[in-house]
Amino acid sequence: MGNGASIVSNDSKHPLVFFDNGLPDVSISNSLRILGFTYKEFFTNSLNNIQVNEIKEKLKYLLTYGSVVAGPIDMGYLTYNPNSINLSGVDHFVSIYDVDEEFVYLHDPAGYPCMKIVFKEFIEAWKANLIDYKRGSFSMWGKFKKVKTPNSEKIFHEVSLIMKKRYQKGENNVIEKFAHAVRDNRLNQEQKQILQFFSFRLASARNLYISKFLKSHDSNKSKIKEQLAELFGQAHLSTLKEDYFNLAHTLEEIAQLDEEFKALCLQIEGED
């Protein structure tokens, strides 16, 4: 959802930060439920006890009901993307529409429809070994069926409860601490790679999306999210320029606004 932040790698000088306080794969399940879908899902935390053929059979089964959402997958393995060399360890999700003995056929929302990739290579991406913020490997969702059509107020209430719960259980002061680390130690190559090619622009987009969603329900939260989107855009530019003083300052502004948003979220009544 683009709220808060989590530590991915707790290096005191050069921490890796994910600008969300929830897991992306869990968010897919939440979104499907909130929007009124039933579905089948699968993931595993036991890579040593599962065979590739078992994964393929589960995928084939779900494909008999239509396309399958898969991820997180490591973008560093998606060689049809010419920028994949810079995206190792970055999480992504795709829509699989077919599989045969050799290839997986998929639509990639990063702008690569109708792609195919060797199944053995895709399996390596799907293991997501370098992605810490996940519930497991080989996550997939399929057999979707719409059973309810909730109105916008119901959706807003459900989303608000999830945001509240995530802030209650999430880490505190992550963005502020990251700002201090940037000011004191600048960025190392790994941080630059993830921030320049992925994190800040994604955070900006997510905040714009949720700002638009909140606009008709909570104008104060919507305005904060719009401001955060602009600040994440500034952070991206500062990272490209290697202007670490301004980057640290922008991160402190982001941290302050996120705390304001958190305070509003915690006022919501009810439990998820």
pLDDT tens, 69-91? 999 999 999 999 999 988 888 89
Give the residue-averaged pLDDT of 152-174: 95
- Report whether pLDDT(1) > 90: no
Sorting pLDDT into bands at 50, 70 and 90, what band is 272?
low
What is the reported pLDDT for 92?
95
Alpha-carbon span 245 to 185, nearest angstrom: 11
Give the residue-averaged pLDDT of 43-50: 83
What is the reported pLDDT for 22?
87
Residues 6+ apart with CB under 8 A from 157: 270
Degrees to nearest 5, angle at CA 10 with 9 and 13: 110
- Report whether pLDDT(270) > 90: no
Structure tokens at 140: 């997939």
Q: What percent of the chain has pLDDT over 90?
A: 84
What is the reported pLDDT for 180?
97
pTM: 0.89
Assess contact for 200 and 235: CB atoms under 8 A. Answer: yes
Query: In the chain, where are the structural domains located?
Result: 9-19+151-265, 37-146
Alpha-carbon span 138 to 25, nearest angstrom: 11
How many CB atoms neighbour CB 18 within 10 A?
Answer: 23
User: How far is CA 133 from each of CA 9, 108, 170, 180, 196, rounded to the nearest angstrom?
Assistant: 10, 20, 13, 23, 19
Better-predicted residue by pLDDT, 52 or 159:
159
What DSSP state is assigned to residue 30? H
Record: fold of 37-146: Cathepsin B; Chain A (3.90.70)
* Lowest model confidence (mean pLDDT) among 43-47, 223-227, 260-264: 43-47
Alpha-carbon span 155 to 54, nearest angstrom: 36
Structure tokens at 244: 């670490």
The values of phi and psi at residue 137, to 5°, are -105, 160
Sorting pLDDT into bands at 50, 70 and 90, what band is 9?
confident
- Report whether pLDDT(2) > 90: no
What is the reported pLDDT for 47?
79
Cα R_g (the chain), whole angstroms? 19
Alpha-carbon span 232 to 202, nearest angstrom: 9
Give the residue-averaged pLDDT of 95-118: 98
What is the reported pLDDT for 111?
95
